[in-house]
Each structure stands twice: as C-alpha cells, then as structure tokens.
Structure 1
Amino acid sequence: MMKSLFITLMFMCVFTGTLVSQVADTVRVGRQNMMQAEKAYNDGISLFNQAKLTESMQMFNEAISLRPNFVEAFYNRGVVKAEMGDINGALADFKIALDANPEFAMAYFARGRMHMTEGDRLAALKDFTGAIASDSRLYFAHYYKGVLYLEDKEYDKAIEDFTSAINIRADFAHAYNDRGSARKLNGEVQAAISDYQQAVLLDPGMALAYNNLGSIRLELEQFNQAHDLFTTAINLSPGYEKALNNRAIANLKLGRYDMAMEDINEVLEESPENFTALTTRGMIKYRTNDFDGAAEDYTQAIRINPDFAPAYLNRGIAREILRDARGAQLDWEKAVSLGLTEASDYLD
C-alpha cells in the first residue's frame, strides 16, 4: 500500500488591483490586510514546496494573524505541522478548518490520515467517509478507506472502495495493486492476477506489485514464472527482503539449493531477526538433510516470534527425523493451537 500522505496544499491567487480612493479607511485597512494575508499564504506554499517547513509555518501564522477566519491557511498550516511530525498540532488545525467549513473535504481527508497514523482506525474511517460525502470524487479518500478495510480483513468492502478509486482515476496503480491483494485474500485468484498485471502495466517500477504477482505464481506452483517476477522486483528494489525470501522459496522448489541459500542469507545478513527468513533457511537446510541446522533455525524463529505457527510445524518435522518424537508432538500441538490446522495431520 502507499505510504505517502496524499495531503496537498491549497493555492490561492493574489489580486493586487488599486484601491478606490473613496473607500473608507477602515475598509481600506481591511482590504490591505486581506491582500497581505493572501500573499503570506502563497509565500507559505512556495516555501513548503522548497521543503522550508519552518519558514512556511511562519508565513501561515502571519496569514492567520492578518485574517483570523482564513480557513485554508489553517488547513495548510496543519499540513506543515503534519510534515514536521506535530500530529496534535495538525489535528487541531484541521479541526478549526472543519468547524469553520464542515464541507471541507480535504480537511476531512488530512485529519483521517493523521488518525490513521496514530492508529485510531475508527476516527480515520469516519473522516474518510466524511471526505467522500463532501467530495465523492476524492479518489484517494476511497483508496485509504479501502486500505483500512483491507487491514481489517473486510475484503468485499475493501474491493468496493479500491474499485471506486479506480473508477475515478483509471491510472491509479496502487489501487490496482491493493485491490489485487484484497481479491487474493478473498479467494479471487484470477481477478487478483489481472489487477497485479494492470498495476505493473501502469507503473513498471512498482516492485511491490511484481512481488505480489510472483507470490500468486508461487502458490499456483508456477515456480519459474514466480522466480522471474521476484527477480524483477529485486532488480527494481535491491535488498527487497520479501522478494528475496520469496525467490529463495522459488529456488528451493526448483531444486536450486545453493541459489536459495544465497538469497536467504542476504536477507539474514541485513536482518538477523527476520523470523520468516529464518524459517525459510530452515526449510532449505531440511531439504539438504541438515536437520540439526534446520531445527536450530526454527528454534531461533520461534524465539523471535513465539506465535509463528509455521516454525513450530517445520521444527516438529525436523525433530521427528531427529527421533525427538515428544518434541515433535508438542510442536505440532502448538502449531494447531495457533490456528495452523494442517499441523493436525501430523498428530497421533
């Protein structure tokens, strides 16, 4: 899924026409303040685009001091605060903007992203829904709403929102990728393949989508295709650990044990605590008859993540070969208790 905030600044034109001489002084001052506020506002945007966040903040502060009801300035100051990591400050500014304009779609969306960052999923969902209610064509609000549903395993709802985003913006590669993931998890394998293929067609540099497509090919036992897709992902994003782990599995299935070990060791050199990679290396060692080494890797994976059921299943298999029947039985029972039902096939 996308990591960028998709929060943007709002630009406002500055008009510098001459004041009519007959206007009362109070009106003249008010108009002058408004023009100065708009200039400070646009200077703030320019500075933001130059990554000068402190200076940008100062300009939005000035705009607000000159025009206390400047809703867009509160919104943009909130964006700057978000970029600076001041989440509470950003939320406060977005609230001011929404209190002044309850139909401000971008403020709903921006606040939703802040809530999402803070882990307040219900508040985020409410704000994304509010953004869509105010502007139904705000495609990235549909997208992030879909992301929330995907993470909550509500796959039908996720697919619906990703589809809405795609219907509004047909070249939205990330929405195709994430809809593919929702469809895969929903059991719609061919539809998922189609979405991943469309994602890489729209964005040939999206390593994530190549990895996801490769994962389906791996599950379908199309190991050569899977291997090539993982290789593309790694070439696009060197050191991509998930793709390296997956290519190691593809190489393992193809009987290329040395290549599999090379891939998985690259992962573990960078991330020694990667329990998934440790489990994969255990599988490689098992296939090359290093049963003690396999059991050791599975044990290390379990130490890092005691709830990782596949490591218990695989360690049980290695222990059985090592004639540790009791240890094997306990491992398989633990795997079943963690929800890995296939481990029950090994129990007496």
Structure 2
Amino acid sequence: MKFYYALAPVIIGVSIAFVQPQIAVALSSAEVAKVAKDITVQIDNQNGSGTGVIIKEEGDFYTVLTAKHVIDTQAKYQIITPDGERHPLISSTVKKLPEVDLAVVQFTSRRRYSVAKIGNSNESAEGTTTYVAGFPQATAAISNTIYNFTDGRITANASKPLRDGYALVYTNNTLPGMSGGPVLNEKGELVGVHGRADEADIETSTINPTVAYVKSGFNLGIPINTFLRLSAQVGVDMGVSPPSTSTAAVPKADNYYIQAGDKYDKGDFQGAIADYTQAIKLNPNYLKAYNNRGLARYLLGDNQGAIVDFNQVLKLDSSDVDGYNNRGLARYNLGDKKGALADYSQALRFNPKYALAYNNRGIARNNLDDNQGAIADFNQAIKINPNYAEAYAGRGLARYQLKDQQGAISDYNQALRINPKLATAYTGRGVAKSDLGDKQGAIADYNQALKINPNSAPTYTVRGITRFQLGDKKGAIADLQKAANLNLEQGKTDDYQQLLELIKKLQ
C-alpha cells in the first residue's frame, strides 16, 4: 500500500523522525541490530526495569516511546542511553496515551543520540521479518540486565486489536523487561512497540496436569500507526501523518488468530481452538494457526487431533522444526516414545541448535532407558542455553537412574537456582535425598513441589511412601489416596488401581 506523509517544515535545532519518501532497502540483520542498539534505552527504577525507544530530538530534549505499564508506578525513573549514561526521567513530561498501553517520556542531554525512523506498520504482513530489542530484567540465572536483540517473523497483524491496542504478533523470543522496546522491520524502521510476551511458562497445564505446558509464540506489540493516530491527543507532534485505516467489514484471519492467542494465554483452550479454526477457514494455509491449534488440542489431551494439525503444518512446510517437535510431544503422550524420538531427531536435522528438541529427545531417551544418550542430549541443550532449567532437571533424572544421586541433586540444585518454581526439580531432588537417607529433606522438597503444582500425582505418591518410611501411616495413606484420585481424574486408571492396592496393604 502506497501512502505519503506530510513533511514538517525544517526547523533549525529540531530533528523529527519520519519515513523518507525514497524507496527503503532491506538491511542485513547486523545492520538492523546496530540501528536498534543506537535507539533503544533502558528505563530503570529501584523495583525493576523496562525498555523504551528514542523517537524525537528537540534541542537537548529527547522523547522516548514506551509501554504505559513500564512507567505506571510513582517511582523515580532513570533513562539509561546506549552510551551507558543515566538521565533522570522528567516526571512532568510523562504522557499516557488513551486506551492503549503506550506512553511518552522525556529526558535531557547535551549529547547526541540517534532517533528511530518511523515505518508503516500496515506493511508488516504475516511472514515478514521483524526484530525486537530491549533489556530483560535480572533473574536468578542472569544477575545483570543485558541488552537483548532478537529476530523473528510476524505471525499476525490484526485490524481489530486486543484490549490496550495490541495487534502485532511475532515469533521473537522476548523476556520480562523488554516491554516498551522497539519492534523493527527489515529496513530498520520502527513499526511497533513491544509490550507482552507469551507467559505460558509453567510446567504443566491446569486443565491436563499430565502434559508439559508449551509456549504458543504469542508475543505482542502495538503498531506504530496506532501511536501516530493518537499522539496528537497527548500533545506529541511527530510531524508524520499515519496512513488511512481500512474500514472493510470483511473478516480477517489475523483478527481471529490474535483473539485465539489471547484466549490460549488465558487458559481458554476451547475458545482458542474455535478462533484458530475460523482463522484457518479464512486462510487454509495459515501454518501458525494449525500449529497453535495443535498445541491447544495437545493441552486438552486430544493428542490425535494435535497430530492431525501438526501433520498439516509439516505438509505446508516440511522443514518446520516446531511442527516436528510438537508432533513429538503428542506422540510421546500417546506412548509412542520411538515416534517421538524420530520427530525430535528430524527437528534437530533441520536446526542443530534447537535446544528444546534436545531437551525433549533427552526426556524420551530417559523413558527408553537410554540414560547415557539422554545425558548427551541434555548436555547439548545446556550448551546452547546455559540457563535451561528443565534440561538440568532432565539430566538430574538421568543421573539418578544411573544411581548417581549426588550428581542428580547437583543438577536439581542448578535447575532451582535458575527457576525456583520448577516443581519437578523439587520432586526429583526429594527422591534423591530420600535414597541418601535424608527423609525430612525429601518431605520438605515434596511440600515445595506441591505448593507450586498441587495436582502432581507422582509427588503425592513419593511423599506418601516417604511418610510411611518415617512411621506416619495416616499421612502416607492420605497422600496415596490423593494421588489415586488425581490419577483417576487424569484417566490413568492403571496407576489408580495400583495405588488402591498399595493403600489396602498399608491399612
């Protein structure tokens, strides 16, 4: 779509970001990375940090665009510019845009900083390259905030946004603290502001606790055109007119896709499936809609339906690594461990740096009694991602199964340093401690695991056994009965019957 911007008169001492009327040429990722680093700032306060992007220079005053929730508290903020200098955020300049998660702030400096070039977010269609930059917050695994730049693809650009103005969806890996950061196209132009990441990072589904929770790649940004349309309402003159908006009433596949992703993140998997289905009806080649509908079906325990969707993903793109990995998950749940292993291996043929597939293949190998092979896979996953808590936990299990309890505990400790909410690591460490005679330490770990995931039948089972070993017969029976009930609810009738028989022996 062609459109023209009304160019502001040239004013001495004033620099305003605008789209050049010349044809823009795509830049290399390294060139975009340099652009991003020069315009991205950290917004810091004593309780955490966020990100912003410099969009305007006027004398010594710089205007920064960010997500509204980044500066929502009354704390004192500082803007940390690319040269490491700290500048007080001028609180009187904070302007929050109406009805969307955007705000502008200002700082002053006599130093010269780069300003973002404004792009046309309407042109960010499904499949186009996108880049996101920002400053992830420090965690237990990463002690310092480090600038992060990621690449990905647009998966949706909805004409009907979610609440707070979110309409861009992309596959870039983003982390807390990157909110407010720039979303750039392959020309290095600002096409959006990042605001939300896929937060489905708990290890089990609340609907089906027997399966691992997987991310949908649902990362959200607010289109820059939305900002341009609203900026005048808060007195920010960018000297740029946004393109006209389409008023077509024809349903758009991207609108259903973004609504589905929002429902998926909220745990409404049935609602997500319905919306993904509508998106597919409008766009029968919508690969990401098939993939995410498959994930939703997988989380609801419909593994056969999930495999149908992942097969369609691979029909559309036979080299799609997520399709192989996710089909492996469904096959694993159906008891086809060798089929799962084959899918994970195929994913790794196409992407030898796919840490998730190494981790999942390691889990499959653990369950096929190939513990040495599993350790090799977990080692690879950790080599690619040294902060991969689940891979440490998986290696801990493999070491335990090789009778290396101390090595297992060491891995579980590392997993919990990285992710203190990883329930399976507490359970695994508890079992290893129990074997070494530390029954009370084991109980403490089981208790912690059940605080995080109160629907873990295996954890109730091992806690029950440990309680019996400590002479607490009543507590043991209560735990085993709870485990039996959970197994029945989860359709694991064989485990249910075995636990009932064990309870009878203890009574």
TM-score, scaled to structure 1: 0.73
Deviation at 1:194, TM superposition (A): 1.2
Partner of 1:344: 500
| Aligned with residue 83 of structure 1, among 174, 190, 194 | 194
In the alignment, what sits opposite 1:24?
A: none
* Bigger Cα displacement from structure 2, 313-322 vs 270-279: 270-279
Kindly indicate whether the alpha-carbon contact (under 8 Å) linking 1:98 and 1:107 is maintained by their aligned counterparts in 2: no
Contact 1:41 / 1:60 at 8 angstroms: preserved in 2?
A: no
Q: Does 1:116 align with 2:116?
A: no
Offset of residue 105 of structure 1: 3.5
Q: 1:87 to 1:298 in 2, by over 3 A?
A: closer
Counterpart pick for 1:260 among 408, 415, 418: 408
Q: Deviations over 1:144-185 (max 9, x none)?
A: 221221122211111111111111111100111001101111
Question: What per-residue deviation string (whole Å, max 9, x for no partner) do you get for residues 37-58 of structure 1?
Answer: 9x96999x999x8666957889
Mark the CA change 1:155 to 1:304 in structure 2 (over 3 Å): closer, same or farther.
closer
Is this contact kept in 2: 1:40–1:60, CA < 8 A? Answer: no
Contact between 2:324 and 2:346, CA under 8 Å: does it hold in 1? yes
- TM-aligned CA deviation for residue 268 of structure 1: 2.5
Instruction: Report the CA distance shift for 1:167/1:318 in structure 2 as closer, same or farther (over 3 A).
Output: same
Distance 1:126 1:82 in 2: 28
TM-score by length of 2: 0.52
1:180 aligns with 2:336: no
Q: 2:443 aligns to what SS in structure 1?
A: helix
2:58 matched residue in structure 1: none
Alignment partner of 1:274 is 2:422: yes
Partner in structure 2 of residue 317 of structure 1: 465
Q: Which residue of 2 is the match for residue 248 of structure 1?
A: 396
Say if 2:406 is the partner of 1:295.
Answer: no
2: CA distance between counterparts of 1:210 and 1:188?
17
Structure 1 residue 100: Cα displacement: 1.2
Aligned counterparts of 1:274 and 1:217: Cα–Cα separation in 2 = 21
Amino acid aligned to 1:143:
N
Q: Which moved more, 1:73-82 or 1:295-304?
A: 73-82
Shift of 1:114: 4.0
Shift of 1:73: 9.8
Letter in 2 for 1:162: F
1:296/1:81 CA distance change after superposition, 3 Å? same
- Sort the Cα spacing of 1:285 and 1:35 in 2 relative to 1 into closer, same or farther, 3 A: closer
Residue of 292, 295, 306 corresponding to 1:144: 292
- Uncovered stretches (5+) of structure 2, i.e. residues with no partner: 7-17, 27-31, 37-52, 56-64, 66-115, 123-156, 169-190, 197-218, 227-243, 488-494
How far 1:117 sits from its partner (Å)? 3.8
Q: 2:312 aligns with which of 164, 168, 187?
A: 164
Report the secondary structure of 2:369's partner residue: coil
**Structure 1 pair 42–152 and aligned structure 2 pair: CA distance change class (3 A):** farther
Match of 1:194, as an amino acid? A
Give the Cα–Cα distance (whole angstroms) in 1 for the partners of residues 358 and 158 of structure 2: 41
| Aligned pairs (5 A) from 1:20-31 | none
- Write out per-residue CA displacement over residues 294-327 of structure 1, whole angstroms, 9 at most, x where no aligned residue: 2332233334443322222112222222222222
- In the superposition, relative to structure 1, how do residues 239 and 312 fare at CA in structure 2: closer, same or farther (>3 Å)? same
Kindly indicate whether residue 380 of structure 2 is the aligned counterpart of residue 232 of structure 1: yes
Answer yes or no: is 1:134 the counterpart of 2:279: no
1:40/1:113 CA distance change after superposition, 3 Å: farther
Q: Distance in 1 between matches of 2:474 and 2:274?
A: 51
2:341 is the alignment partner of 1:193: yes
In structure 1, distance between residues paired with 2:377 and 2:221: 42
SS at match of 2:432: helix
Residue 332 of structure 1 pairs with residue 480 of structure 2: yes
Cα offset for 1:116? 3.4
Q: Whose strand fraction is larger, Structure 1's or Structure 2's?
A: 2
CA 1:128–1:306: 2 relative to 1, 3 Å: closer
More divergent stretch after superposition (262-271 vs 301-310): 301-310
**Partner residue in 2 for 1:28:** none
Distance 2:330 2:350 in 1: 19
Q: Contact 2:415–2:425 (CA<8 Å) still a contact in 1?
A: yes
Q: Indicate if the aligned counterparts of 1:98 and 1:108 stay in contact, CA closer than 8 A.
A: no
In structure 2, relative to structure 1, the CA distance for the partners of 1:122 and 1:88 (3 Å cut) is farther
- 1 CA distance for matches of 2:290 and 2:329? 16
Larger radius of gyration: 1
Does the CA contact (< 8 Å) of 2:416 and 2:425 recur in 1?
Answer: yes
Aligned residue for 2:387, secondary structure, equals coil
SS of aligned partner of 1:338 = helix
CA distance in 2, matches of 1:171, 1:181: 17
DSSP 3-state at the match of 2:257: helix
CA distance in 2, matches of 1:159, 1:99: 38
Residue aligned with 1:83, SS = strand
Moved more, 185-194 or 244-253: 185-194
CA contact (8 A) 1:281 1:294 kept: yes
The range that moved more, 200-209 or 284-293, is 284-293
Structure 1's 308 and 125: CA in aligned 2 closer, same or farther, altered over 3 A? closer
Residue 221 of structure 1 corresponds to: 369
Identity %: 30
Q: Which letter maps to 2:344?
A: Y
- Letter of the aligned partner of 1:144 in structure 2? N
Q: Is residue 87–residue 114 contact of structure 1 (8 Å, CA) maintained in 2? A: no
